Structure 1
Amino acid sequence: MLNLKMALSFGGTLNQEEVITVCAAFKEYRFKPGEQFLSIGTISRKIGFLDSGILRAYIVDTKLNEVTTYFIRENQFAVEIKSFYDNEPSHLAFEAVTDCCVFAIDRMEWVRLSERVPKLYILTKSLTEAALLNKIKDNEFLHFGAAKDKYLFFLENYPELALRVPMQYIASYLKITPQSLSRIRKGLGEQQKATND
């Protein structure tokens, strides 16, 4: 829970006593690969904090294909903001890609805590803005360049994801087919081998 304490101390909004109070309301959940923290069509009623592992966020397109929209990494929060605040069914799912440990708090508990710890609202706003900015930054590169360039950018900026996330999810995230990604990886491997020789 140390990582969660550090995240809640972000910006010094909450004092140490408030951080401990808020942390105490979180419960630990464990997920195996393929298990869901949030399912499509259900209402997001929890704020999650990813202590270890990787989650992927995905939607289902009109052809019923799962499309990975982003990854949630360690020390990041997982919440489908629109569903959480509007009390509407989520169009997005959060699924464990690896073994995951998530600390989560129920929405009603969060509301109660916000009344006891008024500065929690300010922290929520800061964390929400940071999460949105990260998501925009993470996805910006997807709109430019060829498939190979996107994969190289992904490798350079998210090496831990490249090592731990199955190829089909990376391909879906990069908006290319698994076959294209396989060809790109093979080409890069041959290029690396030629360079070493």
Structure 2
Amino acid sequence: MDELFTYLLQFGSLNPQQLDLIATKATPLALPRDAYFLEAGQVSRRVGFLLEGVLRICYYNNQGQEITRNFIDEHHLTTNLRGLEDGLASAEYVQAVTDCRLLVFTKPDWDELAHTIVGWREMVHQMTTRHLHEKLARISPMVSQDATTRYREFLANYPQLANRIPLSYLASFLGMTQSSLSRIRRNIR
């Protein structure tokens, strides 16, 4: 629970009673490798805080190819905001890349925190803004870079992820085939 509190306190002040309330709403969840936290077509009804492991966000394109859009590592939240807030079905999957441990909040509990804790909505807004900035920083440079540069930058910026995710997922995320990624890796060594 301390990891969650440390994360939350980056975005605002919470008193001991508020922290106790948050703790009562969080439920531990063990998610085995390859299991889904959320599947396409489902409406998101929970928010997860990743304590341990790596999740990926993926979808299938028009040709039926699986595309990895993003990775989520420890001490980050995961949910489908449009689904959670607007009741819309997700077009993406959130899948465990490794065995994961999360703290999970149901939508009613998450909503109760918003109604009970003064400033909670602003904190959630700040968390969402930071997440979007991190995602843009990870994805934006890849548009104009060649494959080798994309891979090198991924290694430089996210060394903690490089050895924890399968090459097929990393290749998909970087916008290349697995054989191209293998060739790039061989040439870099």
State the one-letter code of the partner of 1:37: F
Match of 1:112 in 2: 112
Deviation at 1:12, TM superposition (A): 3.0
Match of 1:194 in 2: none
C-alpha distance in structure 1 between counterparts of 2:14 and 2:115, whole Å: 14
Give the 5 Å matches for 1:6-25.
Answer: 6-25=6-25
Give the 5 Å matches for 1:27-46.
Answer: 27-46=27-46
Q: Deviations over 1:5-54 (max 9, x none)?
A: 11121233322321221122010111111000011110011111000000
RMSD, aligned α-carbons: 1.1
Match of 2:174 in 1: 174
C-alpha distance in structure 2 between counterparts of 1:109 and 1:71, whole Å: 26
State the one-letter code of the partner of 1:133: H
Match of 1:75 in 2: 75
Deviation at 1:69, TM superposition (A): 0.4
C-alpha distance in structure 2 between counterparts of 1:11 and 1:61, whole Å: 35
* Runs of 4+ deviating beyond 6 Å: none
Q: Are the counterparts in 2 of residues 9 and 16 from structure 1 also a CA contact under 8 Å?
A: no
Q: Are the counterparts in 1 of residues 36 and 93 from structure 2 also a CA contact under 8 Å?
A: yes
State the one-letter code of the partner of 1:141: P
Higher helix share: 1
Give the 5 Å matches for 1:54-93.
Answer: 54-93=54-93
Q: Are the counterparts in 2 of residues 9 and 15 from structure 1 also a CA contact under 8 Å?
A: no
Give the 5 Å matches for 1:108-147.
Answer: 108-147=108-147
* Percent identity for Structure 1 against Structure 2: 30
User: Given the two structures, how large is their TM-score scaled by the length of structure 1?
Assistant: 0.92
Q: Deviations over 1:122-166 (max 9, x none)?
A: 111111111111111111121121100100001111111111111
Q: Are the counterparts in 2 of residues 58 and 93 from structure 1 also a CA contact under 8 Å?
A: yes
Q: Are the counterparts in 2 of residues 5 and 20 from structure 1 also a CA contact under 8 Å?
A: no
C-alpha distance in structure 2 between counterparts of 1:7 and 1:43, whole Å: 26
Q: Are the counterparts in 2 of residues 9 and 19 from structure 1 also a CA contact under 8 Å?
A: no
Match of 1:193 in 2: none
Deviation at 1:187, TM superposition (A): 1.0
Match of 1:102 in 2: 102
Q: Which ranges of structure 1 fall in alignment gaps of 5 or more residues?
A: 190-197
C-alpha distance in structure 2 between counterparts of 1:86 and 1:17, whole Å: 30
C-alpha distance in structure 2 between counterparts of 1:173 and 1:154, whole Å: 10
Point out the more displaced range, 144-153 or 111-120.
Answer: 111-120
Deviation at 1:186, TM superposition (A): 1.1
Deviation at 1:66, TM superposition (A): 1.2
C-alpha distance in structure 2 between counterparts of 1:66 and 1:19, whole Å: 39
Point out the more displaced range, 177-186 or 8-17.
Answer: 8-17
- Aligned: 1:50 with 2:53: no
State the one-letter code of the partner of 1:157: N
